[in-house]
């Protein structure tokens, strides 16, 4: 489910007193959000031009044009930054996908049985996972590999998922739904 604007980064806390902020990028290359020209809020009413950016641990310390002191930087904390979908490069490999394209797709067993909906593609350090929310009950995870996710059909909005034997997936309607919707971004993943 693609949209015209893609979440590419989130502004965090200020860094120092000269207007720099910590930015959490959503992408394989932490500096890639600086390549697309001015970044915008979801409604397009505010635009941010990157003046400088440097990687520092898990964030990118960034200076935006017109943000010159700590107070101005603090006012940006938590702001999501977007780019137009057309600004992102086309993916060359058929096994590479933008997370935002997979969010909301139906996850189904090879038999056709509906398992739920893809709500996130987190990476906790051991590789990308597919988080699936059944119609009811808690979400569950499968590895984003060819073995567990052998078919992705973007046109029809469906992903085939083979559950590992040790995974006990809740069936549709078994338990009460819980959990928060995850955010999609420009981060790309390649199936292992």
Beta carbons of 121 and 189 less than 8 angstroms apart:
yes
Q: What angle do CA 103, 108, 110 make, to 5 degrees?
A: 140
Confidence of residue 188 (pLDDT cuts 50, 70, 90): low
Mean of the pLDDT values across residues 168-175? 49
Q: How many CA atoms lie within 13 A of 180 on its CB side?
A: 3
Taking only the tens place, the pLDDT of each residue in 95-146 is 778 888 898 999 999 999 999 999 998 888 788 899 999 988 899 999 999 9
Taking only the tens place, the pLDDT of each residue in 39-77 is 999 888 999 999 999 999 889 999 999 999 999 999 999
Beta carbons of 73 and 21 less than 8 angstroms apart:
yes
The reported pTM is: 0.65
* CB-based contacts of 75, cutoff 8 Å, min separation 6: none
């Amino acid at each position: 489910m693609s949209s015209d604007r893609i979440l590419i980064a989130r502004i965090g806390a200020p860094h120092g007193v000269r207007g720099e902020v910590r930015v959490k990028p959503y992408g394989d290359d932490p500096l890639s959000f600086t390549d697309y020209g001015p970044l915008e809020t979801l409604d397009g009413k505010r635009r941010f031009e990157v003046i400088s950016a440097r990687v520092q641990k898990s964030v990118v310390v960034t200076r935006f044009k017109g943000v010159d002191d700590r107070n101005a930087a603090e006012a940006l904390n938590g702001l999501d930054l977007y780019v137009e979908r057309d600004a992102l490069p086309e993916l060359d490999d058929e096994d590479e996908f933008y997370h935002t394209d997979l969010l909301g797709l139906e996850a189904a067993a090879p038999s056709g049985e509906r398992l739920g909906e893809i709500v996130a593609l987190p990476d906790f350090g051991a590789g990308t996972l597919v988080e699936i929310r059944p119609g009811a009950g808690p979400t569950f995870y499968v590895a984003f590999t060819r073995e567990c996710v052998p078919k992705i059909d973007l046109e029809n909005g469906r992903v085939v998922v083979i559950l590992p034997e040790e995974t006990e997936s809740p069936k549709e309607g078994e338990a009460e739904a819980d959990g928060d919707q995850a955010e999609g971004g420009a981060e790309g993943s390649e199936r292992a």
